Amino acid sequence: MKSLRARLLISFTALLAAALTVFGVIVWLVAREAMSRDMDDVLRGKALLLGRLAPPLPLPARRLLIEPWMEQELQLQEHQVAVQMFTADGNLGGKSSNLRIDMPLTETARHSYHPAGGVELETLAVGGREWRVATHPRRERWGEPVVFYAQAVMPLDALDARGYRLLVWLVGGGAVMLCAVAATAWFLSRQWLRSISSLEEAARGLSTSELGIRRLFVPSDDAELAALASSFNHLLDRLETAHTTQQRFTADASHELRTPLTVLRGEIEVALRKPRTTEEYREVLVSNKEEIERLSRLTENMLALAHVDVGDAITQRELVNVSEVCSTVINRLQNLAAERQMIIQHEDTTTEPLSVNGDRVALERVIFNLVENAVRYSPTGENVTVRVSKTTPWIEIQIIDTGGGIAPEHLPHLFERFYRVDKARSRTHGGSGLGLSIVKALVEAHGGSVSVSSEVGHGSTFTVRLPAA
């Protein structure tokens, strides 16, 4: 696995190499062009100068000598230029001492028309080499016949040698530059990535016990790292919440389990202290059964919550008619209501079938818990209404009771696990404080929401909203 740093460096260096290559090719092409233009300028200059140095009389070929002082004046050595002269008839006269071959006077050069004494430039292949040749027809005056031809020549490979030197410089310089930049980038990237490493170290150093206390340092001078550190801290926050919730749940669950077990043990121990009548044993057993039923309900509720937590509370989805679900639940609770001299009313605000896409068993559990609470926590003789209505796109189920209501300070915690308003009283009612948290979890698993409004002395209304099918 390649590190981020190595990947950055490789891509950066490859890009730089490509850029340098393109740049180098352009420089080389432009330089070549300039060099060959330079060469032509030098040749033109030498041919013209030679024309001026030689005596301007129509002389025979043997008198057209290039004397050493002329060579000096022309500075031939310096530019690798050689010169020679031809008579007006095209016969070779003298040539400079550095010219070993016979360079011909081409017909083109000879008949080129330069009335004021210009220069004809050509490229010729002579003696296995290519030459650049500048020929200047020397005239006495403008438009007069040619007196002689002054010629300056230079091998083209002189240009190649210069081009090659430039190429070496370009390639060498480019390579050195690339290495230098890569090394600097490697060094700098360590500085830049140091913050990431320190972040990683800090994260690794965090132990579970420090979840609630320590957070990563958010650097102020680095936007990306600051974003990374703060989203990591957000994650820690959520983790901490989940961790504490889980810890609290375990603690509450053990506490809830311990209470009925202690009661059971106490009753049995007392019963066993001395021999009892059948009637006394029977009483103990009946009481034990109640505690065991409470334990069963508790474990059943905990299991239900565990299912919701792992996300398999909804086993199957089907079209469920909400009014039907409410009727079933009300029927099941008729006995309890009768015991408490209460009537559960069912109101449908519309005649159209109100259906949701969900799990029938889960939805029955939701409505059951809410209606059962309304019946249990209201004084005898009060009334409970279950109202089903549609407020697009939701189907709303309201469980309204005229009971004692719930004080405002409890409302925000009502849906928390194991939360009970009146701990002592709830126990006699058999509640463990899990009913509403199961309602909330199941409703949310259906994509809905549940809320409560309550007024002490006037009653409570629980509203469940489910997305209409």
Residues of this chain that bind ligand ADP (CB under 6 A): 369, 373-374, 377, 401, 403, 406, 414, 419-422, 426, 431-437, 460
Judged by CB, which is closer to ligand ADP: 140, or 347?
Answer: 347
Q: How far is the CB of 283 from ligand ADP (least distance, A)?
A: 26
Judged by CB, which is closer to ligand ADP: 95, or 294?
Answer: 294
Residues β-bridged to residue 123: 132
Q: How far is the CB of 416 from ligand ADP (least distance, A)?
A: 8
Q: How far is the CB of 257 from ligand ADP (least distance, A)?
A: 15
Q: How far is the CB of 261 from ligand ADP (least distance, A)?
A: 18
Q: How far is the CB of 241 from ligand ADP (least distance, A)?
A: 20
At residue 106, the 3 state secondary structure works out as coil
H-assigned helices in 54-125: 68-74, 76-79, 107-111
Going from the C-alpha of 140 to that of each of 55, 84, 86, 344, 467, the distances in angstroms are 10, 19, 15, 133, 109
Residue whose Cβ sits closest to ligand ADP: 431
Judged by CB, which is closer to ligand ADP: 51, or 433?
Answer: 433
Judged by CB, which is closer to ligand ADP: 46, or 420?
Answer: 420
Judged by CB, which is closer to ligand ADP: 93, or 260?
Answer: 260
Q: How far is the CB of 437 from ligand ADP (least distance, A)?
A: 6
Q: How far is the CB of 418 from ligand ADP (least distance, A)?
A: 8
Tell me the pairing of strands 120-126 and 92-95.
unpaired
Judged by CB, which is closer to ligand ADP: 138, or 417?
Answer: 417
Judged by CB, which is closer to ligand ADP: 186, or 419?
Answer: 419
Judged by CB, which is closer to ligand ADP: 120, or 401?
Answer: 401
- Give the dihedral sign, CA 102/103/108/112: negative
Residues β-bridged to residue 347: 387
- Here the contacts of 322-326 (C-beta below 8 Å, separation 24 or greater) are 322/354, 322/355, 322/356, 322/363, 322/388, 322/395, 322/397, 322/466, 323/348, 323/353, 323/354, 323/388, 325/360, 325/363, 325/364, 325/367, 326/367, 326/386, 326/388, 326/397
> Do 450 and 396 touch, CB atoms closer than 8 A?
no
- On the question of a cis peptide bond just before residue 393, with omega within 30 degrees of 0, the verdict is yes
Q: How far is the CB of 230 from ligand ADP (least distance, A)?
A: 36
Q: How far is the CB of 457 from ligand ADP (least distance, A)?
A: 11
Tell me the pairing of strands 394-401 and 383-391.
antiparallel
Amino acid at 212: G
> Do 329 and 464 touch, CB atoms closer than 8 A?
no
- Give the dihedral sign, CA 333/336/339/343: negative
Judged by CB, which is closer to ligand ADP: 235, or 456?
Answer: 456
**List of residues 6+ apart from 1 with CB closer than 8 A:** none
